């Protein structure tokens, strides 16, 4: 019982590290010609998809309306996000060593702030992607927005786009729940 907060915090760190093992987010595009959907995966350090060629396939579809190519190498967030997560994991372990409720709480707040920042960044990225259109694109739609939903479902011309957390996204959420409970139990147990 006494070591429960520490165990919870270590589990929180492990859950956070799944970000390096599984994709954290997915955007699936459905259309009559794509009954199984075209599924794009966003990782902490890369963008991929259900198949090796998903990004190429999405880029081909998007070029008709003049959307920018998704070029993972050009997305700087994918470069520095992994370091932030590693720092957070290290801080998490440090919190487990120090084992003070204040440290746990600080970690949770920091993590929540990062998540909010991450979502905001994701929104900006989606906005840019959905609104920066090539004026010479073969197909022009007046007032059309190609911005995918932040979370949930949205109709984009002939496609239905569904944006949802993927495996490690859920684990990251779990990580925060675990860290919060570490703080909770530490507070209950007292010193």
Partner 1 sequence: MKNHFSIKKLLFAGLIIAGISALSTGCGGGGQNGSESGVLGGDVASRVYVKPGTYDEFYAFISGGFSGQISVYGLPSGRLFKVIPVFSVDAEKGYGFNEETKPMLNTSYGFIPWDDSHHPELSQTDGQTDGRWVFINGNNTPRVARIDLTTFETVEIIEIPNSGGNHSSPFTTENTEYVVAGTRFGVPYPQKDVPIDSYAENFKGALTFISVNPEDGDMDIAFQILLPAFDYDLAHSGKGASHGWTFFSSYNTEQKNTLLEVAASQNDKDFIAAINWKKAEEYIKAGNFKEFPARYANNEYSDETHTATSTMKDKVKVLIPSECPGLVYFLPTPKSPHGVDVDPTGEYIVGNGKLSADLTVHSFSKMLKAIENEAYETVIDGIPVLKYEDVVAGVVKKPGLGPLHTEFDGKGNAYTSFFISSEVVKWKLGTWEVLDRGKCFYSIGHLCIPGGDSKKPDGKYLIAMNKITKDRYLPTGPELTQSAQLFDISGDKMELLLDFPTIGEPHYAQAIPASRIVDKVKKIYPIEENKHPYAAKGEKETKVTRNGKEVHVYMTMIRSHFAPDNIEGIKVGDKVYFHVTNLEQDWDTPHGFAMNGARNAEILIMPGQTETLVWEPQREGVFPFYCTDFCSALHQEMQGYVRVSAANANTPLKWKLGEEEVQ
Q: Does 64 contact partner 1 by CB under 8 A?
A: yes
Q: Does 51 contact partner 1 by CB under 8 A?
A: yes
Q: Does 60 contact partner 1 by CB under 8 A?
A: yes
Polymer length in residues for the chain: 191
Tokens of 69: 């190519």
Beta strands in 16-141 (DSSP E): 25-31, 34-42, 47-49
- Minimum distance, C-beta of residue 56 to partner 1, in the bound complex (Å): 6
Distance (Å, whole) CA 69 – CA 94: 41
CB 161 within 8 A of CB 153: yes
CB 15 within 8 A of CB 178: yes
Of residues 24-43, which lie at the interface with partner 1 (CB under 8 A)?
36
Specify the stretch interacting with partner 1 by CB under 8 A; choose among 51-59, 77-85, 101-109, 115-123: 51-59
Q: Does 80 contact partner 1 by CB under 8 A?
A: no
Q: Does 139 contact partner 1 by CB under 8 A?
A: yes
Q: Does 140 contact partner 1 by CB under 8 A?
A: no
Interstrand relation of 159-165 and 47-49 (parallel, antiparallel or unpaired) = unpaired
Specify the stretch interacting with partner 1 by CB under 8 A; choose among 17-25, 57-65, 95-103, 120-128: 57-65
Taking the CA atoms of the chain, what radius of gyration do you get in angstroms? 20
Q: Does 52 contact partner 1 by CB under 8 A?
A: yes
User: What is the contact surface with partner 1 in residues (CB under 8 A)?
Assistant: 36, 51-53, 56-57, 60, 64, 138-139
């Amino acid at each position: 019982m006494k070591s429960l907060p520490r165990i919870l915090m270590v589990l929180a760190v492990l859950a956070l590290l799944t970000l390096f093992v599984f994709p954290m987010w997915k955007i699936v595009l459905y259309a009559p010609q794509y009954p199984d959907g075209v599924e794009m995966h966003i990782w902490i350090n890369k963008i991929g998809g259900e198949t090796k060629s998903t990004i190429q396939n999405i880029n081909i579809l998007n070029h008709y309306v003049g959307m920018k190519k998704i070029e993972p190498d050009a997305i700087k967030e994918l470069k520095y996000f992994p370091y932030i997560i590693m720092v957070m994991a290290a801080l998490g372990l440090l919190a487990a060593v120090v084992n003070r409720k204040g440290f746990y709480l600080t970690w949770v707040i920091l993590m929540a702030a990062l998540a909010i920042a991450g979502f905001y960044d994701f929104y900006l990225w989606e906005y840019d992607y959905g609104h920066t259109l090539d004026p010479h694109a073969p197909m022009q739609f007046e007032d059309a927005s190609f911005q995918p939903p932040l979370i949930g479902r949205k109709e984009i011309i002939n496609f239905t786009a569904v944006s949802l957390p993927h495996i490690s996204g859920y684990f990251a959420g779990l990580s925060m729940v675990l860290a919060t409970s570490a703080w909770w139990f530490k507070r209950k147990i007292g010193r």
